[in-house]
Amino acid sequence: MDGIMSWLDGLIDGSLIAGGVFLIIGVVGGVLLLISLVLDGIFDAFDFGDGPLSLTTIAAFTAIFGFTAFALVGAGLPTPVAGTLGAAAGVLGGAAAWWLSRVIRSAESTTAVSGEDLVGSSASVVLAIPAGGLGEVALVRHGERVSLSATADSAIPRGAQVRIAQTITATSVRVEPAPAAAPPAPPTPPTA
């Protein structure tokens, strides 16, 4: 109980603002990390690849930095020391997130398709695509169902068939409505 009280006293003695700033940084990083993990592909346009500057790695660094520095300010350390130790913890946590994401990606199926393979493919809209917004399409490649974030110039309802016009990232594409099937040709009369 004394530890909690001294921690609260450390926040109240003038370091409340610094602690609050670190807490906000940690919460923003945590939310971004959650979004990058749950809604993979939504922020691919802002991602810098799978390297150390991926959204997951940056979000992990930010969350660990903010929460560690917040806890250290509350424990009574001076703000510069708390920030430095929080940054060191963030670098270690970001490196761990980068390594873990590389391990997970290397364990993914080898049947993944490249962007060139997708262009021209037919897909089905599983989450309606608003004009200029994001939705989701699914298609079957090499016997596996592949889901991709999708954008289109015009709104496309759920269940519609589309054609992939362009790959934006590894997990997102631009689609267009599939051309309507031509009606069958009338039978030709037999020749005598």
Residue of 89 and 141 predicted with greater confidence: 89
pLDDT of residue 111: 45
User: Of all residues in the chain, what percent carry a pLDDT higher than 70?
Assistant: 70
Q: Which residues pair with 139 in a beta bridge?
A: 146
CA distances for 42 relative to 23, 45, 49, 119, 176, angstroms: 25, 8, 13, 20, 19
pLDDT of residue 86: 92
pLDDT tens per residue across span 56-109: 788 889 999 999 998 888 888 888 898 899 999 999 988 888 888 777 766 654
Q: Region 156-167: what's the mean pLDDT?
A: 87
d(CA 17, CA 131): 43
Coil, helix or strand at residue 180 = coil
Helix (H), strand (E) at residue 179: none
pLDDT tens per residue across span 164-187: 888 887 778 888 888 765 556 666
Q: What is the separation, in whole angstroms, between the first and last Cα of the chain?
A: 104
Taken in order 144, 145, 150, 152, is the CA torsion positive or negative? positive
d(CA 64, CA 26): 6
Helix (H), strand (E) at residue 108: none
d(CA 41, CA 36): 8
CA distances for 185 relative to 60, 117, 179, 181, 191, angstroms: 59, 31, 17, 12, 17
pTM over 0.85: no
Coil, helix or strand at residue 74 = helix
d(CA 115, CA 170): 7
d(CA 175, CA 160): 11
